């Protein structure tokens, strides 16, 4: 999908500076880069040789390797030589080895190459555009992107010598790289390449960085940490063996165990970081930590995060908010004529959905979309199918105020609460007392954060270290989900929905081309985000829901027309709307014919139905107050 950027003035200035430098790299002693896509790429120009620090070397070495690979790729492409693919994979591996430091905000040109780190754009930067151009055989477009990448590599090389990375920056990049290694194995990173061979190259390059950066951080002069470095080597050895034995990422069986091992690698790296005297920083806080210190917390790409809105903590001021939210959730007085409560459409016994294709509307002129589950709702980066609301607080108030749903205007809501003595007393007892719509929204959001992120599915037990929690069939299903099925590219672990780590604040939307019924000849007319933005790229785009507890929340999709998971899997297997011959010009490129076998589907369905199903029945999560 085309770029949707959130850019501050300072950010824009940095981009302009990067663009100017990439256009000519004025501080470089080498020859200037070619001026147009028809000129030869001078990737083989001689770079200066001089001693540099170990920390600078981990930035410079991938740039040198990338320039060598780019030169070889440029030479191979016009002749159509068979080794062009190998050179492209070398180029990707080099970029992956540099990404953890090149993509940081202080690195000029990183966004040009990799795309914005906090964007709803799934198109990425020059590297992903090169990948797309090579896949479709567009030599002219590929050459233009290679020019950009060549200039960027020279800039990264120059940066390494002018501004070597500080130990603290390398330390933080190391901790994040261990997480990214697991996310790459799940093929859930923003900017993941198209082909499985390129995914494997990215995995190898990321591990290259981890090994070289760990050694540099432990070099005499920065820290004496031989024992900690030995532990890192021990943690990387089995991962390297698995990557070296594979020809493509499709050869990575049991990706679940690979990801779990990246969590242990993160622990080893953070212990090295602590021994080196740098500050330890986790990728994010776990919903249910298993270690007493950050250094020992094995956060991997399967580790469920804490909700961005604050969960209840014993002794904190969130307790009265959550208690009030629980009461409000089941109270029909928050609707016009006491017609319904939140629980009317988000039924605990039905996984906090309603089991209907579409809920009944209080406004005959408005047809509502299918009611999604509220389970894991606090982890969504955006709320509602079209993403028009960003927070649970605003989502709750939007439903209360919508005429078709609960139908109370803000003033009517306040009057309804003030006229109820039991509710009025609870509002006055809040840490920030007062009957206001904002307090209603905050109370409902606090209740959701406390209740709706249970995190006790088999996948969560596995992520916390119980390797018996996933059966061989579940692990095989995750392999399909991440690999051949391409599911994790939008349904991103550990949330298994459309929110990107590391802060889970960037939503994912997709255009699927869903028909009005399974196998139907007519495209569903819902415009999705297109109705909000009027952009052609957004026509039919809808938020990616979570697949957690999906066995409890049928029917599926925004219109509830697909009754079973088998129908959903068949839809994706055939290639979405285009696969059924429907006109979907902007369909997500990752939605394509998959060629799943019967065994693939059986494993995938078992993973969805069982490995992502919480053990606590939803009705026990939110007992109505008496």
pLDDT band at 177 (very low <50, low <70, confident <90, very high): very high
Least confident of 53-62, 141-150, 482-491, 513-522: 53-62
**pLDDT value for 18:** 46
DSSP 507: E
Cβ 167 vs Cβ 38: under 8 Å = no
pLDDT (tens digit, 9 = 90+) per residue, 192-251?
999 999 999 999 999 999 999 999 988 765 556 788 999 999 999 999 999 999 999 999
pLDDT tops 50 at residue 317: yes
pLDDT tops 80 at residue 329: yes
Q: Which residue has the tokens 């820290």?
A: 223
Least confident of 15-19, 62-66, 199-203, 450-454: 15-19
**pLDDT value for 405:** 94
Cβ 399 vs Cβ 406: under 8 Å = yes
**Residue 62: closest CA among 40, 34, 91:** 91
pTM of the full structure? 0.88
- Percent of the chain exceeding pLDDT 70 equals 86
pLDDT tops 80 at residue 266: yes
**pLDDT value for 291:** 93
Cβ 179 vs Cβ 265: under 8 Å = no
**Packed helices 84-102 and 54-79: angle between N→C axes, nearest 10 degrees:** 150
CATH topology of domain 458-618: Cytochrome Bc1 Complex; Chain D, domain 2 (1.10.760)
pLDDT (tens digit, 9 = 90+) per residue, 20-57?
444 444 344 343 333 344 444 554 454 555 567 888 89
- Percent of the chain exceeding pLDDT 90 equals 69
Rounded to the nearest integer, the mean pLDDT of the chain is 87
Triad 379, 382, 388: Cα angle to 5° = 160
**pLDDT value for 104:** 78
Per-domain residue ranges for the chain?
A: 1-165, 166-303, 318-455, 458-618
Distance between CA atoms of 211 and 269, rounded to whole angstroms?
A: 10
pLDDT tops 50 at residue 353: yes
**pLDDT value for 40:** 47
**pLDDT value for 310:** 54
pLDDT tops 70 at residue 122: no
What is the DSSP secondary-structure string of 534-573?
--GGGTTBEEPPP-TTGGGS-SBSTT--B-SHHHHHHHHH
Q: Which two tokens stand for residue 38?
A: 């028809």
**Average pLDDT of the segment spanning 496-516:** 92
Match domain 318-455 to its CATH number in 2.40.50.140, 1.10.760.10, 3.30.470.10, 3.30.1490.20: 1.10.760.10
**Average pLDDT of the segment spanning 456-469:** 97
**pLDDT value for 454:** 93
Least confident of 5-19, 295-309, 336-350, 490-504: 5-19
pLDDT band at 309 (very low <50, low <70, confident <90, very high): low
How many alpha carbons fall within 13 Å on the CB side of residue 117?
Answer: 16
Integer CA distances (angstroms), 546 to 353, 495, 500, 556, 608, in order: 13, 7, 12, 11, 11
**Residue 525: closest CA among 515, 535, 517, 533:** 515
Question: Could you check whether 318-455 and 458-618 share the same CATH topology?
Answer: yes
pLDDT (tens digit, 9 = 90+) per residue, 276-288?
888 888 999 999 9
**pLDDT value for 503:** 87
Distance between CA atoms of 492 and 21, rounded to whole angstroms?
A: 35
The three-state secondary structure class of 31 is coil
**pLDDT value for 312:** 42
**pLDDT value for 31:** 36
Number of residues that this document lists for the chain: 626
Integer CA distances (angstroms), 293 to 18, 222, 350, in order: 39, 24, 38
């Amino acid at each position: 999908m085309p770029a949707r950027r959130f850019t501050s003035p300072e950010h824009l200035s940095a981009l302009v500076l990067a663009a100017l430098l990439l256009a000519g790299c004025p501080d470089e002693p080498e020859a200037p880069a070619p001026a147009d896509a028809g000129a030869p790429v001078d990737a083989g120009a001689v770079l200066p040789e001089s001693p540099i620090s170990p920390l600078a070397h981990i930035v410079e070495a991938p740039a040198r390797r990338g320039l060598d690979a780019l030169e070889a790729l440029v030479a191979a492409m016009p002749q159509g030589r068979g080794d062009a693919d190998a050179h492209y994979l070398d180029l990707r591996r080099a970029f992956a080895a540099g990404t953890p430091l090149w993509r940081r905000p202080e690195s000029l040109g990183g966004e040009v190459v990799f795309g914005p780190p906090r964007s709803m754009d799934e198109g990425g930067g020059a590297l992903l555009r090169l990948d797309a151009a090579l896949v479709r055989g567009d030599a002219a477009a590929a050459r233009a992107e290679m020019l950009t990448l060549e200039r960027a590599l020279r800039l990264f090389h120059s940066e390494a010598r002018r501004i070597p990375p500080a130990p603290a920056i390398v330390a933080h990049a190391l901790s994040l790289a261990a997480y990214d290694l697991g996310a790459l194995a799940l093929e859930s990173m923003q900017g993941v390449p198209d082909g499985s061979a390129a995914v494997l190259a990215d995995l190898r390059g990321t591990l290259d960085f981890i090994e070289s950066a760990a050694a540099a951080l432990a070099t005499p002069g920065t820290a004496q940490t031989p024992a900690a470095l030995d532990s890192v080597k021990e943690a990387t050895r089995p991962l390297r063996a698995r990557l070296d034995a594979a020809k493509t990422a499709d050869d990575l069986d049991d990706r679940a165990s690979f990801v779990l091992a990246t969590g242990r690698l993160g622990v080893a790296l953070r212990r090295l970081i602590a021994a080196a005297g740098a500050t330890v920083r986790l990728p994010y806080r776990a919903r249910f930590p298993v270690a007493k210190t950050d250094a020992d917390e094995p956060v991997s790409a399967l580790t469920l995060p804490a909700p961005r809105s604050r969960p209840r903590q014993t002794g904190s001021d969130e307790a009265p908010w959550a208690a009030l939210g629980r009461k409000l959730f089941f109270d029909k007085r928050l609707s016009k004529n006491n017609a319904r409560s939140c629980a009317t459409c988000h039924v605990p016994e039905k996984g906090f959905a309603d089991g209907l294709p579409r809920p009944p509307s209080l406004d005959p002129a408005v047809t509502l979309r299918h009611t999604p589950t509220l389970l894991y709702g606090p982890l969504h980066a955006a709320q509602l199918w079209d993403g028009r609301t960003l927070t649970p607080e605003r989502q709750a108030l939007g439903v209360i105020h919508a005429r078709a749903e609960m139908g109370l205007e803000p003033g009517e809501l306040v009057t309804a609460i003030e006229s109820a003595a039991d509710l009025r007393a609870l509002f006055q007892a809040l840490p920030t007392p007062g009957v206001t719509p904002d307090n209603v929204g905050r109370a409902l959001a606090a209740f959701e954060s406390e209740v709706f992120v249970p995190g006790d599915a088999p996948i969560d037990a596995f992520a916390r270290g119980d390797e018996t929690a996933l059966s061989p069939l579940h692990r095989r299903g995750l392999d399909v989900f991440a690999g051949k099925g391409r599911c994790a590219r939008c349904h991103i672990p550990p949330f298994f929905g459309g929110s990107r780590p590391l802060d889970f604040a960037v939503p994912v939307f997709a255009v699927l081309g869903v028909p009005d019924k399974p196998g139907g000849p007519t495209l569903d007319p819902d415009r999705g985000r297109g109705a909000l933005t009027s952009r052609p790229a957004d026509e039919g785009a809808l938020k990616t829901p979570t697949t957690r507890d999906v066995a409890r929340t049928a029917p599926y999709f925004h219109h509830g027309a697909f009754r079973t998971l088998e129908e959903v899997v068949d839809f994706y297997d055939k290639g979405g709307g285009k696969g059924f011959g429907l006109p979907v010009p902007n369909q997500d490129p990752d939605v394509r014919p998959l060629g799943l076998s019967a065994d693939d589907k059986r494993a995938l369905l078992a993973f969805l139905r069982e490995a992502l199903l919480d053990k606590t029945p939803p009705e026990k999560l939110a007992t109505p107050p008496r």
